[in-house]
């Protein structure tokens, strides 16, 4: 502690504390503009609004930068300091538009100006810049800019997007986007961090301003909740005006530290889209179901009629009861949702198991990380990450394979970028290039589908060169000898021919990973969505285990989860093989426990998975389905097949926000609650259980999902009477050892708790498996894998490789993001990404329309040139209903994880003659 | 009303608005050789320190290849890639320093120093002469024949030879109206007059020869060098 004198009072400062922080702590307000006391922002000391006087020093000092020393005498209120601060403000006020005409009269700047009573200036104004309204979501009005550089720090140091810079010099200095481009035409990824940081209103959410660029909207209340999109689990504050979300700020949550991405910050308005379902719908008599039928979501009345809740629920429940009675308990299935809360997921799987009488309950985890979870369960007996993504900050080496975090987990990517800036080495392995490749020490663009070859070459090098951690292997693993024998057949030289990465590079990467003090491994769908997805994950697990890069600070295995609650929905039991908390349905002890817990007879056979259920519909064994918040008519592989199956169903109940492509084929459509309308717990990719709160009321006659599920359960003879999410959570937690010591009250109090937790008053364990694993032997199992080709290789008929995924602005099947004005404006149409070289070779050009065909279907889509895509490859996001990539994808399954091979199939392209896109 | 700031306001010519940017740039052999020289001055991981020399190298290559010494955006991207920097960091540097032209200029860049010493010694007359010869009326504009671009610069550090005019990379000193006209006429004819003082004096020696220490001349042989200090 450092003792010094602040305004005549003896005070103490902790090491590293600045004068501003000590003053703040003691209730002394010192103005600050270029300093944001927020995580990730260093003080810069350029605006001089926080000057204080230090006895014995000739000049004043900026309180935001200066740290006290022993015996220092600081005066924050001396005449000289106060006069200097007022003068700084007066000089800045001179160049501002007057407060009455300010872009944001409520900005930090004007609040401080008012507080120190300097709102007018004697100085002449400088010439200023014109507004830049080129971006749909953000307005740039540099006439209010004070060049404090917070936007530059936001873009460069916090989010590490490096779009904003301070260009020109002296009086002409100003923040610019790229090369002084209009914001909307720059490489800006619209994370909005600069808008959140700007203290003057020079950068603002466009939604707050009128055409004259003056703020006309002010929130009348604010609600702390979460972001509805990916698995990162950002905490946000929603600002609400007249029950509509006005704008969004990042909160200081443990996962996001106030950061957000474009989806979280600007993608909130889908909840009030005119397509929202506001009344229950029943299919009109005599409207046939056709696989290729389409319904206008704005006008469902061609196929549906309005119904009362009573009638719709009766119809929904009676349909299930009828099929169950006529065809037995195996004839029904349910798809739950990874977008809903833990409580909804728990209730839904319980409904299927008790009401339908079988275990045919699955959800989209089957399509994203089923193989990763299968491999993790097999190896570690735990399906979750071993360390949070922020552990990257403590790592020396970060290895990312088959994932594109800056697009799919943008806020997680910021922490990885922070780590690289701090000096960590980054390895990126992916057939496609990506934004992170630029920061990587090794960017391996390997041949698609050769993941096992690549990782086996790394394992081979580590074992051959003795770089493995013998002590760790002996202490905590089993199966190393088998791996050692098997891996001998995979030397880097041979694997280089398979995966296209030079042997020496493979060796360098292996050495880098194995010998670093702390290395962490991230993977995504590029690993899991293959017929050898489980093998891919097994290899990665082996990599971490034999090098002991697990269970310590800065190490671990982290499969990045794609949806906001895919971790929680899996935990809660939306999986056909397991009850809540991954307890096998066919384990007699577990089965008996749950029969007692739920006081019901349960099926002890594993249920069917997503793709298997569709096949069973075709086969006629499954006749009725309940789909809650999922859209298999867009997300399943080989959609023609999946949509035919949906159309063949005798009884389909869809519960959703919109009339999705799946709902086109429904008998009953139930209007559900959006994320922003519900209370519930959600578990992020870090195993962090967080509480969401209702922000706005539900539209029309929409209802809470848990309420709808309960009503249907009651119509299937279950006497459920839950009062709400808190009660459901309590029951769920009682069946899940992982949730021990996490209570609803604790979540209300703390907002976020990471499982596992040792005691009610102890924080959760962020990094697990420091000393052994929850397996029978206490050891992790190393499982070797052989190289296997993808299911469908290119040939002379279909000569290219098709891969699918996401774009930054759109999420999952696009049902939400394509109904967000800003997001759809930023990425408005279906596009296929191809390498410029490939385009040149084929005489095609960006903007042209092509037909992409596989053995399963064809779509028409516009070309975008992208150097990140390998030649001979096509990348198509699967979010576009008008050109659904999954009409093309291959439903071949990984034998263990039952995940389809979305990342690889054979395809061909054909130019379409279109006068609109004719080359001039 | 608000007004867009353009190059005219600040005379830095650094706006990219309306500039026809090339779509490709590659370093030529001479540039590559110069780059190698500069990059090796810095320890590994600190190559970004070479950003200023590299921007000069780009500008020189553009002069050789196009006759206009400027730094296109695509070349800044090439510099960024070569030095492992984010492109925005290079843009910041290039727009900060007036020595880098971020839009095309004429064949010769006339840079008039208008800081106090040159101004007191007649830089107004230099400016007038430049405008007469080139027909340029504003700042950072290019003459109709494409030969000259006229800029105003801050102190060039040659006050003892004021007033001065920098043409491309060379200093022309001790100018007045008429000598400036003659100088520019020579450039117009394609000649390259010798840089330095146009009055013929040696660097900044007094006009008409030395005026101090004259009595030390021809005073016998120089004194013996002092004996070395005794060893401690």
- CB contacts < 8 A (A, B): 63
Q: How many angstroms separate the CA atoms of A266 and A829, rounded? A: 18
Q: What is the pLDDT of residue B4?
A: 37
Q: How many angstroms separate the CA atoms of A529 and A548, rounded? A: 26
Instruction: Assess whether pLDDT exceeds 80 at residue B26.
Output: yes
Is B222 a domain residue? no
Over residues A531-550, the mean pLDDT reads 97
**Position B15 confidence tier, pLDDT thresholds 50, 70, 90:** very low
Q: What is the pLDDT of residue A406?
A: 97
Q: How many angstroms separate the CA atoms of A561 and A522, rounded? A: 10
Interval A864-906: pLDDT, tens: 999 999 999 999 999 999 999 999 999 999 999 999 999 999 9
Instruction: Assess whether pLDDT exceeds 70 at residue B191.
Output: yes
B112 and B132 in a single domain? The answer is: yes
Q: What is the pLDDT of residue A473?
A: 97
Of B12, B86, B98, nearest to A162 by CB-CB distance is: B86
CATH number for position B125: 3.40.30.10
- How far B128 CA lies from chain A's nearest CA (Å)? 27
- How far B83 CA lies from chain A's nearest CA (Å)? 12
**Position B219 confidence tier, pLDDT thresholds 50, 70, 90:** low
Is B187 a domain residue? yes
Q: How many angstroms separate the CA atoms of A156 and A158, rounded? A: 6
Q: What is the pLDDT of residue B18?
A: 67
B138 and B55 in a single domain? The answer is: no
Contacts of B3 in chain A (CB under 8 A): 127-128, 130
**Position B19 confidence tier, pLDDT thresholds 50, 70, 90:** confident
B126 and B193 in a single domain? The answer is: yes
**Position B212 confidence tier, pLDDT thresholds 50, 70, 90:** confident
Query: What's A418's DSSP letter?
Result: H
Contacts of B5 in chain A (CB under 8 A): 127-129, 172, 174
Instruction: Assess whether pLDDT exceeds 60 at residue B2.
Output: no
B13 and B81 in a single domain? The answer is: yes
The count of other CB atoms within 10 Å of the CB of residue A877 is 22
Of B2, B88, B96, nearest to A178 by CB-CB distance is: B88
Is B183 a domain residue? yes
Q: What is the pLDDT of residue A186?
A: 96
Q: What is the pLDDT of residue B226?
A: 66
**Position A214 confidence tier, pLDDT thresholds 50, 70, 90:** very high
Query: Is the Cβ pair A168, B95 closer than 8 Å?
Result: yes
- How far A156 CA lies from chain B's nearest CA (Å)? 9
**Position A218 confidence tier, pLDDT thresholds 50, 70, 90:** very high
**Position A3 confidence tier, pLDDT thresholds 50, 70, 90:** very high
Query: Is the Cβ pair B10, A172 closer than 8 Å?
Result: yes
Phi-psi region of A620 (alpha: psi -120 to 50; beta: other; left: phi over 0): left
B58 and B112 in a single domain? The answer is: no
Residue (of A673, A703, A714, A900) closest to A804 by Cα position = A900
Q: How many angstroms separate the CA atoms of A227 and A235, rounded? A: 6
Q: Which residue's entry shows tokens 């010694």? A: B121
Is B206 a domain residue? no
Q: In this prediction, does ipTM exceed 0.90? A: no
Instruction: Assess whether pLDDT exceeds 90 at residue A556.
Output: yes
Is B209 a domain residue? no
How many structural domains comprise chain B?
2
Last residue of a domain, one of B104, B120, B138: B104
Show the domain range for B125. Answer: 108-197
- Among residues of chain B, what percentage have pLDDT more than 70? 85
Question: Are the beta carbons of A690 and A235 closer than 8 angstroms?
Answer: yes
Question: Are the beta carbons of A496 and A411 closer than 8 angstroms?
Answer: no
Question: Are the beta carbons of A49 and A89 closer than 8 angstroms?
Answer: yes
Q: How many angstroms separate the CA atoms of A214 and B6, rounded? A: 25
**Position A913 confidence tier, pLDDT thresholds 50, 70, 90:** confident
B158 and B175 in a single domain? The answer is: yes
In degrees to the nearest 10, what's the CA dihedral of A714, A715, A716, A719? 20
Q: What is the pLDDT of residue B230?
A: 63
Secondary-structure breakdown of chain A: helix, strand, coil percentages, each rounded to the nearest 5: 35, 20, 45
B97 and B56 in a single domain? The answer is: yes
Q: H or E element: which one contains A164?
A: strand A164-167
Q: What is the pLDDT of residue B210?
A: 78
Instruction: Assess whether pLDDT exceeds 60 at residue B55.
Output: yes
> Closest-CA residue in chain A for B76?
A179
Interval A760-782: pLDDT, tens: 999 999 999 999 999 999 999 99
Q: What is the pLDDT of residue A87?
A: 97
Task: Output b/e per residue, A471-493; b: 16+ Cβ within 10 A.
Answer: ebbeebbbbbeebbebbeebbbe
Last residue of a domain, one of B88, B104, B120: B104
User: In degrees rounded to 5, what are phi and psi of residue A127?
Assistant: -70, 145
B80 and B116 in a single domain? The answer is: no
Contacts of B2 in chain A (CB under 8 A): 128-131, 143
Is B58 a domain residue? yes
Instruction: Assess whether pLDDT exceeds 90 at residue A476.
Output: yes
> Closest-CA residue in chain A for B1?
A130
Query: Is the Cβ pair A129, B95 closer than 8 Å?
Result: no
Instruction: Assess whether pLDDT exceeds 80 at residue A444.
Output: yes
Query: Is the Cβ pair A162, B95 closer than 8 Å?
Result: no
**Position B201 confidence tier, pLDDT thresholds 50, 70, 90:** confident
Stretch among A415-424, A434-443, A648-657, B10-19 having the lowest mean pLDDT:
B10-19
Q: How many angstroms separate the CA atoms of A730 and A733, rounded? A: 5
Over residues A667-694, the mean pLDDT reads 97
**Position B211 confidence tier, pLDDT thresholds 50, 70, 90:** confident
Last residue of a domain, one of B52, B78, B104: B104
Contacts of B10 in chain A (CB under 8 A): 168, 170-172
Dump strand ranges (E) for A432-492.
442-444, 477-478
Is B213 a domain residue? no
Instruction: Assess whether pLDDT exceeds 70 at residue B30.
Output: yes
Residue (of A212, A199, A204, A215) closest to A92 by Cα position = A199
Query: Is the Cβ pair B12, A143 closer than 8 Å?
Result: no
Of B3, B5, B76, nearest to A172 by CB-CB distance is: B5
Q: Which residue's entry shows tokens 């929680």? A: A568
Contacts of B87 in chain A (CB under 8 A): 162, 178
B7 and B34 in a single domain? The answer is: yes
Is B204 a domain residue? no
Interval A313-347: pLDDT, tens: 999 999 999 999 999 999 999 999 999 999 999 99
B100 and B118 in a single domain? The answer is: no
B186 and B148 in a single domain? The answer is: yes
**Position B223 confidence tier, pLDDT thresholds 50, 70, 90:** low
Q: How many angstroms separate the CA atoms of A170 and A189, rounded? A: 28
B1 and B100 in a single domain? The answer is: yes
Over residues A438-446, the mean pLDDT reads 96
Over residues A123-150, the mean pLDDT reads 96
Over residues A837-849, the mean pLDDT reads 95
- How far A410 CA lies from chain B's nearest CA (Å)? 18
Q: What is the pLDDT of residue A166?
A: 97
Instruction: Assess whether pLDDT exceeds 50 at residue B13.
Output: no
Q: What is the pLDDT of residue B229?
A: 66
Query: What's A157's DSSP letter?
Result: I
Strand A332-335 versus strand A442-444 pairing type: unpaired
Choose from A154, A160, A165 for mutation: most chain B CBs within 10 A: A165
Query: Is the Cβ pair B3, A130 closer than 8 Å?
Result: yes
**A1, burial (CB in 10 Å: exposed 0-12, middle 13-18, buried 19+):** exposed
- Among residues of chain B, what percentage have pLDDT more than 90? 75
CATH number for position B34: 1.10.10.1590
């Amino acid at each position: 502690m450092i003792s010094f004198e602040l305004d005549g009072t003896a005070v103490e400062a902790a090491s590293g504390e600045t004068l501003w922080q000590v003053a703040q702590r003691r209730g002394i307000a010192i103005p600050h503009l270029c300093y944001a006391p927020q995580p990730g922002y260093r003080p810069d000391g350029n605006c001089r609004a926080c000057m204080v006087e230090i006895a014995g020093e000739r000049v004043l000092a900026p309180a935001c930068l200066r740290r006290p020393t022993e015996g220092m005498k600081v005066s924050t209120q001396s005449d000289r300091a106060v006069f200097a601060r007022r003068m700084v403000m007066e000089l800045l006020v001179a160049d501002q538009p007057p407060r009455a005409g300010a872009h944001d009269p409520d900005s930090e700047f004007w609040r401080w100006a008012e507080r120190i009573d300097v709102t007018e200036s004697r100085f002449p104004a400088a010439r200023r810049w014109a507004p830049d309204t080129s971006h749909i979501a953000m307005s740039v009005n540099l006439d209010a800019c004070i060049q404090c550089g917070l936007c530059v720090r936001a873009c460069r140091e916090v989010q590490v997007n490096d779009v904003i810079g301070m260009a020109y010099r002296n009086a002409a200095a100003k923040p610019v986007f790229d090369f002084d481009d209009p914001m909307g035409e720059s490489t800006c990824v619209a994370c909005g961090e600069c808008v959140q940081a700007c203290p003057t209103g020079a950068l603002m959410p466009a939604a707050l301003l009128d055409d004259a660029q003056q703020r006309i909207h002010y929130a009348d209340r604010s609600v702390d909740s979460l972001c509805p999109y990916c698995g990162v689990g950002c905490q946000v504050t929603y600002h609400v005006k007249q029950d509509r979300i006005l704008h969004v700020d990042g909160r200081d949550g443990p996962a996001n530290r106030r950061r957000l991405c474009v989806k979280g910050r600007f993608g909130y308005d889908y909840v009030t889209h005119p397509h929202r379902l506001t009344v229950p719908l029943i299919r009109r008599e005599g409207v046939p179901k056709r696989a290729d039928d389409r319904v206008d979501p704005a006008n469902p009345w061609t196929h549906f009629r309005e119904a009362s809740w009573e009638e719709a629920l009766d119809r929904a429940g009676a349909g299930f009861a009828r099929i169950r009675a006529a065809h037995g308990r195996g004839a029904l299935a349910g798809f739950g949702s990874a977008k809903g809360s833990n409580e909804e997921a728990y209730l839904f799987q319980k409904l299927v198991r008790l009401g339908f009488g079988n275990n045919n309950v699955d959800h989209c985890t089957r399509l994203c990380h089923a193989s990763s979870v299968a491999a993790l369960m097999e190896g570690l007996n735990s399906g979750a990450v071993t360390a949070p993504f922020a552990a990257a900050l403590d790592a020396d080496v970060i290895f990312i394979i088959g994932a594109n975090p800056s697009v799919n987990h943008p806020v997680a990517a910021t922490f990885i970028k922070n780590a690289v800036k701090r000096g960590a080495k980054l390895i990126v392995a992916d057939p496609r290039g990506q934004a992170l490749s630029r920061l990587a020490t090794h960017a391996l663009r390997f041949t698609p589908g050769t993941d096992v070859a690549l990782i086996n070459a790394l394992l081979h090098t580590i074992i051959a060169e003795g770089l493995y951690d013998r002590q760790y292997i002996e202490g905590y693993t089993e199966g190393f000898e088998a791996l050692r024998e098997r891996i001998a057949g995979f030397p880097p030289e041979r694997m280089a021919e398979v995966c296209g990465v030079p042997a020496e590079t493979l060796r360098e990467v292996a050495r880098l990973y194995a010998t670093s003090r702390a290395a962490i491994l991230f993977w995504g769908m590029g690993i899991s969505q293959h017929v050898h997805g489980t093998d891919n994950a097994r290899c990665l697990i082996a990599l971490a285990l034999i090098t002991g890069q697990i269970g310590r600070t800065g190490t671990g295995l982290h499969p990045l989860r794609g949806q906001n609650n895919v971790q929680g929905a899996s935990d809660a039991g939306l999986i056909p093989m397991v009850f809540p908390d991954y307890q096998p349905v066919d384990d007699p002890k577990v089965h008996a426990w749950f029969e007692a817990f739920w006081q019901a007879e349960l099926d002890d056979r594993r249920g069917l998975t997503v793709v298997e259920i569709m096949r069973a519909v075709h086969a006629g064994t499954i006749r009725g389905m309940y789909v809650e918040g999922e859209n298999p008519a867009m997300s399943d592989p080989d959609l023609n097949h999946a949509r035919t199956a949906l159309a063949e169903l005798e009884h389909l109940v869809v519960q959703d926000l919109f009339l999705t492509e799946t709902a086109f084929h429904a008998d009953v459509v139930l209007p559900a609650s959006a994320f922003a309308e519900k209370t519930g717990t959600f578990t992020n990719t870090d195993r962090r259980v967080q509480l969401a709160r209702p922000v706005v009321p539900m539209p029309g006659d929409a209802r809470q999902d848990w309420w709808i599920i309960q009503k249907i359960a009651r119509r299937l003879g279950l006497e459920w009477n839950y009062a709400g999410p808190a009660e459901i959570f309590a029951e769920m937690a009682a069946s899940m050892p992982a949730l021990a010591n996490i209570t609803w009250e604790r979540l209300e109090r703390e907002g976020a708790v990471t499982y596992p937790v040792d005691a009610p008053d102890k924080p959760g364990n962020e990094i697990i498996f420091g000393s052994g694993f929850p397996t029978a032997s206490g050891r992790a199992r190393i499982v070797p894998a052989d190289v296997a080709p993808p299911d469908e290789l290119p040939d002379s008929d279909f000569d290219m490789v098709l891969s699918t995924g996401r774009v930054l602005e759109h999420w999952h099947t696009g049902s939400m993001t394509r109904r967000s004005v800003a997001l759809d404006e930023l990425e408005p149409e279906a596009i296929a990404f191809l390498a410029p070289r490939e385009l040149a070779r084929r005489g095609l050009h960006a903007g042209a329309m092509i037909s992409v065909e596989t053995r399963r279907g064809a779509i028409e889509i516009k070309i975008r040139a992208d150097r990140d895509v390998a030649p001979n490859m096509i990348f198509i996001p699967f979010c576009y209903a008008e050109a659904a990539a999954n009409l093309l994808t291959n439903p071949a399954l990984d034998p263990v994880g039952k995940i389809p091979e979305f990342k690889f199939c054979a395809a061909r392209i054909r130019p379409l003659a279109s006068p609109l896109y004719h080359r001039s | 009303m608000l007004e867009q700031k353009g190059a005219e306001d600040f005379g830095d010519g650094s706006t990219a608005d309306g500039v026809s940017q090339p779509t490709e740039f590659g370093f030529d052999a001479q540039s590559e050789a110069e780059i190698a020289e500069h990059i090796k001055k810095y320890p590994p991981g600190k190559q970004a320190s070479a950003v200023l020399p590299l921007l000069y190298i780009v500008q020189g290559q553009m002069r050789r290849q196009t006759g206009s010494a400027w730094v296109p955006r695509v070349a800044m991207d090439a510099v960024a890639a070569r030095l492992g920097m984010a492109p925005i960091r290079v843009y910041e540097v290039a727009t900060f320093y007036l020595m880098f032209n971020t839009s095309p200029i004429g064949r010769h860049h006339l840079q008039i120093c208008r800081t106090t010493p040159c101004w007191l010694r007649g830089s107004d007359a230099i400016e007038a002469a430049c405008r007469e010869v080139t027909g340029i009326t504003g700042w950072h504009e290019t003459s109709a024949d494409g030969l000259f671009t006229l800029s105003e610069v801050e102190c060039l550090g040659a006050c003892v030879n004021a007033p001065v005019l920098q043409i491309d990379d060379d200093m022309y000193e001790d100018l007045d109206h008429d000598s400036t006209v003659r100088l520019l006429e020579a450039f117009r004819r394609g000649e390259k007059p010798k840089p330095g003082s146009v009055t013929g004096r040696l660097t900044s020696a007094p006009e008409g020869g030395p005026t101090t220490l004259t009595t030390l001349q021809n005073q016998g042989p120089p004194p013996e060098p002092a004996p070395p200090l005794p060893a401690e």
